[in-house]
Chain A
Amino acid sequence: EPEVTQTPSHQVTQMGQEVILRCVPISNHLYFYWYRQILGQKVEFLVSFYNNEISEKSEIFDDQFSVERPDGSNFTLKIRSTKLEDSAMYFCASNRDRSSYEQYFGPGTRLTVT
């Protein structure tokens, strides 16, 4: 069964460094998402992406963040100048089209900023 994959599973970085989190969505899906979950808090929407551009973003997704689909398979989240409060689990998700109810989630990347 097709699945969304994410790498790495755990990333440790120093404050102020840039990180890139990688995701491979399901191959025939067209909509891609990033969510994050700070430990002990809710899963929060960050951004959605369609047709090579951002279709929606939350208040959290400021200039520190960017997303890209550099090729036909990867979907990346870049976090510039990381802060301690960026430590969280980051989930990638995809779905086939906007009306499809089910978003398929990856297992997540745990980002630890020290």
Chain B
Amino acid sequence: GNSVTQMEGPVTLSEEAFLTINCTYTATGYPSLFWYVQYPGEGLQLLLKATKADDKGSNKGFEATYRKETTSFHLEKGSVQVSDSAVYFCALRKETSGSRLTFGEGTQLTVNP
């Protein structure tokens, strides 16, 4: 079946550090890939998406590239801010599975000033 695996967490960084959160997936065919973010006390929000191989999703300085050859969708940001502290979820959606999202474990990011 479909699955998503994220890097072990949590992650603690200093402000302006470079961020990478790894995400790999298992699925047949061509799923759509997503990163969701959850700020404290709020629901999950879509951060970025990519719907086909080699697509790059980007938003708020975050980027992720859909790599079919390595079945990966790693999240990166060049310079994190304290306000980026949140939980980040990688997810996939396969059309043949309806519109359900399959999530990774989530990674807690803490950015210290």
Q: Mark B64-90, 1 if CB is under 8 A from A, else 0.
A: 000000000000000000000000010
Q: Point out which of A33, A35, A45 has the most chain B C-beta atoms below 10 A from its C-beta.
A: A45
Q: What are 5 residue pairs bridging A and B, where the CB atoms are less than 8 Å apart in the complex?
A: A42-B104, A43-B44, A48-B99, A103-B99, A107-B43
Distance of A101 Cα from B99 Cα, bound (Å): 8
- Rounded to whole Å, the gap between the CB of A37 and the closest CB of chain B is 8
Distance of A102 Cα from B104 Cα, bound (Å): 17
Count chain A residues whose beta carbon lies closer than 8 angstroms to a beta carbon of B: 26
Task: List chain A positions with a Cβ less than 8 A from chain B.
Answer: 3-4, 31, 33, 35, 41-45, 48, 55-56, 58, 91, 93, 95, 98, 101-108
Q: Quick check: A48 and B98 within 8 Å, CB to CB?
A: yes
Task: List chain B positions with a Cβ less than 8 A from chain A.
Answer: 4, 32, 34, 36, 41-46, 49, 51, 89, 91, 93, 97-106
Q: Quick check: A108 and B104 within 8 Å, CB to CB?
A: no
- Rounded to whole Å, the gap between the CB of A38 and the closest CB of chain B is 11
